[in-house]
Amino acid sequence: MITILVAVLALSVGWCIGHRSARIVFIPLGGTSAQDDAAFIAEQRAHFDQIVAGYDLPDHNDPPRSAA
């Protein structure tokens, strides 16, 4: 009786493993869409800052100068 139970258990485990490995399983590699967007925005911001660094632009945090 034990041998029949072991045989049925082995066949059912083998059946499950076989069906699991026979299917195409989607496994995402790399980052998510939000991470890709954040990296792209950071790269674009760094490029913009590099371009603008050569210009003499006023800092928005400075108080306005008086006309007098």
Residue type, 19: H
**Nearest 10 degrees: Cα torsion 24, 28, 30, 31:** 160
Three-state SS annotation for 6-21: HHHHHHHHHHHHHHHH
**Ramachandran sector of residue 19 (left: φ over 0; alpha: ψ -120 to 50; beta: rest):** alpha
Structural domain boundaries in the chain: 1-25
**pLDDT digit string (tens) for the chain, length 68 residues:** 899 999 999 999 998 888 777 777 777 777 888 988 999 999 999 999 998 887 776 666 666 666 55
